Structure 1
């Protein structure tokens, strides 16, 4: 007997009472093979939230404002406030993630994402034109700082808030507060690109992206429950078998921040070490990670090391144009046994990173069940694409914000993470910010980690092929 056509299925679903229609659609979807990559979902209605979103929601209830990120842009030139409002509304309409509510399911199985049909723009305007320049500067700094601590509510759909500070006829600052449950680092570039297009060409020019974040979440849970997902999860867990779980700090978690930098220039081992790494096919991140693994192995007394590294999670090209929270953490396990030389260690690090990054489909909260994470240190060399924000007749420039708060995002249990070192290579320098848990780690400990990395690189350059770089 021939299989029913999609049209026939649609007619059969339409004939069902509304209360049963969505259940029938989900049952039909569960019987279809799950593709290896996300595809547009069939039907509408709520979809399960990701495990990361569920965790962030719990944190938000415990500590309001914890999940808020903030961005600020200075706009110099004649700004059309009406066009800006329309463009912002158009971006919210384009991306389902920015119109989501995260709420509990009726059966208590877990939170659901429900997409509101109509975008709700929350844009406040503050006129500072009559104040002194010093007062205006202070107000901008205060607003940027306070924006990062704004308590947003994913459960009510309040996941973003905008404020336009008017400093003069031709000078404004736009501040965006967004909840990390629906907005990751990559999303900022997508958002600004869309905002510029909407301002320039009108909101009707903003067609929906190829895939929405809700397509991804719907696919992720079905794929994890499929034979392919179960196989990949089991294989990845086997690769981490025997790695001890990082113990949570008895005192819990209290955030600290520290500006960090790796030295470059005359006498610095960094440039030569990165060149040595490149000769072995290692990226700058792999080279620095290999040196960090040596430092951690000495500190922990083990023969291998697991370091967590954030990954964009956009493993399908169609996901690159969507706003959402796709970030995951991939644990990288590097073996240091056998007294390897530094080139040999680089080859091991290169293979370990490639293996870990090939598993970005696995959410860290599912991989590390019960919050038992195999890493206590997170390390990243961020490479978010630079996105020019161009509005007609307006010069736009980013403004520095408060230090990021990523430990809750990157750690199933932040109390088990001692430090998260996030670096960026820019203008010939490598630097950034380290977050650390004050209950277990002091600023001197973070500095010692990075100082140890530079010492390992110096030793590697002095005797590149000598065995025993881990000693």
Structure 2
């Protein structure tokens, strides 16, 4: 009997329970080659959650609030509250990820993403204008801390929560709590850009993006199950098998963090080291990664090292305009054998980073499944695009919030991770936060890594072509 086609397929799919409809579409699509990049999916209905989302869902159930991220901006000027509400609602309507529920499929096949048709704005307002200046500052800090720990409900679709704090008639703070399962660091820039457009031109100006996160999630599952995805995953896993896997800390995982500033001391070699890297075609990230690789290789007594680096995962241009959790981690293997000079090491690191990023379609949870995590240290120099967030008559500035829980996001098993150093370059300075596993390291251990990086750069600047930088 011939398989149904055309209208017959549509009737057969419509007869299936909703939870199985998208799975059937995927199985039918699997008969055709899966494109290397996402495209708008056909039809509607639930789609399988990504492996990272499944992990974050289970983590939220164990520890409510552990997957919440927080962002805040100060708005100085006369704010139209009605326009702001309309703009916020318009942004929620534009992005499916912000209207998504994540829950287990009835047949036990794994979590599904279900998009609600109508946006639901959750906005709490607090008037602090009658407080003293110190009381207002204390209240803002308290609200920022509470926002970062707000338990959200992935199953119920309560994945974002806003607070509008009124400090004075012409001064407000807007705080967004969002779940990491649907909102990554890049998404904050997309969100603010859309919010400004909705406030200026009305929510009707916010057309849906070319690709939604659900398009990406549906494509990723199909691609991983197809021959091309299976082959790429197998190749990378074979490469990982040659490395020593990171062992979990005996005590498990307990989060700690400390602030980081590089190159602020007089005579620091940071700027000179980054300039040296630039002459060799290395970005600041590559130069710092090369120096960190030297420190780790010395510490572990090895001639190679693997560092995990978070990647935005937006390898197709249409994904850049969507809100969602696209982040992955790529293991970068740096070869330090043969007593290279720092100049030679820079060239090796450039090649290693380029190779690693060429595989960022692979989700870290699939790559590191079964305890295959090859890195114990994560390093990132964030380069999210600058957001020209401007409102008429209102000055906008971002407020720093509590440190994000990057270790729990970037590590399939946080107990296997020693530290995550997340930096940002601003106004010639590099700083940020180092998260670490209290069960595997003390603050001074993390500090030693960072001072070691500057020591390596100092030696490199003095003798860039001298062999033996690893000694």
TM-score range, shorter chain: over 0.9
Return the alpha-carbon distance in structure 2 between the equivalents of residues 403 and 21 of structure 1: 40
When residues 171 and 179 of structure 1 are mapped into structure 2, their CA distance, relative to the original with a 3 A threshold, is: same
Q: Which residue of 2 aligns with 1:455?
A: 455
Aligned to 1:162: 162
Q: Deviations over 1:182-211 (max 9, x none)?
A: 000000000001111111111111100000
Deviation at 1:394, TM superposition (A): 1.4
Taking the aligned partners of 2:372 and 2:11, their CA distance within structure 1 comes to 45
Q: Mark the CA change 1:23 to 1:74 in structure 2 (over 3 Å): closer, same or farther.
A: closer
The answer to which of 177-186 and 399-408 deviates more is: 399-408
Aligned counterparts of 1:21 and 1:423: Cα–Cα separation in 2: 43
Deviations 1:353-372 (A, max 9, x none): 00001111000100011243
Deviates more, 1:371-380 or 1:209-218: 371-380
Q: Tell me the secondary structure at the aligned position of residue 158 of structure 2.
A: coil
Q: Distance in 2 between matches of 1:269 and 1:430?
A: 13
- Rounded to whole Å, the distance in 1 between the matches of 2:412 and 2:183 is 18
Number of aligned positions between the proteins = 469
CA 1:37 to 1:248, structure 2 compared with 1: closer, same or farther past 3 Å? same
Maintained 8 Å contact 2:263/2:271:
no
Asked whether 1:246 is paired with 2:246, we answer: yes
Q: CA deviation at 1:286?
A: 0.7
Q: Deviations over 1:248-293 (max 9, x none)?
A: 1111111111111111575221222212211221111111111111
Alignment of 1:35-434 (within 5 A): 35-264=35-264, 267-434=267-434
Structure 1 residue 461, shift from structure 2 partner? 2.0
Further displaced range: 350-359 or 386-395: 386-395
Query: How many Å separate the matches in 1 of 2:343 and 2:200?
Result: 51
Separation (CA, whole Å) in 2 of partners of 1:18 and 1:439:
47
- Equivalent residue number for residue 31 of structure 1: 31
TM-score (norm 2): 0.96
Native 8 Å contact 1:13 1:21 kept in 2: no
Determine helix, strand or coil for the equivalent of 2:444: helix
Question: In structure 2, what is the Cα distance between the partners aligned to 1:21 and 1:330?
Answer: 33
In 1: Cα distance, 2:404 partner to 2:24 partner:
43
Q: Is the CA contact 1:294–1:336 (under 8 Å) kept in the aligned structure 2?
A: yes
Q: Specify whether residues 111 and 301 from structure 1 end up closer, same or farther in structure 2 by C-alpha distance, changes over 3 A only.
A: same
- After superposition, the CA RMSD in angstroms is 1.8
Using the size of structure 1 for normalisation, the TM-score is 0.96
Q: Secondary structure at the match of 2:71?
A: strand
Cα separation, partners in 2 of 1:26 and 1:461, compared to 1, 3 Å: closer
Match of 2:440 in 1: 440
Question: Secondary structure of the equivalent of 2:321?
Answer: coil
Q: Residue by residue, what CA displacement relative to the aligned partner does 1:113-138 show, whole Å, maximum 9, x if unpaired?
A: 00011111101111122222222221
Structure 2: 5+ residue runs without aligned partners?
A: none
Whole-Å Cα distance in 1 between the matches of residues 306 and 48 of structure 2? 30
How far apart are the structure 1 equivalents of 2:17 and 2:55? 31
Question: Structure 1 residue 18: deviation in Å?
Answer: 6.1
- Give the distance between the partners of 1:164 and 1:421, measured in 2 at CA: 31
**Contact 2:22/2:47 (<8 A) preserved:** no
Q: Is the 8 A contact 2:113 2:214 kept in 1?
A: yes
Q: What 5-or-longer segments of structure 1 have no aligned partner?
A: none
Distance in 2, Cα, partners of 1:417 & 1:22? 36
CA distance in 2, matches of 1:291, 1:300: 15
**Residue 17 of structure 1: CA displacement?**
6.1
1:24: Cα distance to partner? Answer: 4.5
Alignment partner of 2:257: what SS? strand
User: In 2, are the aligned partners of 1:197 and 1:206 still within 8 Å (CA)?
Assistant: yes
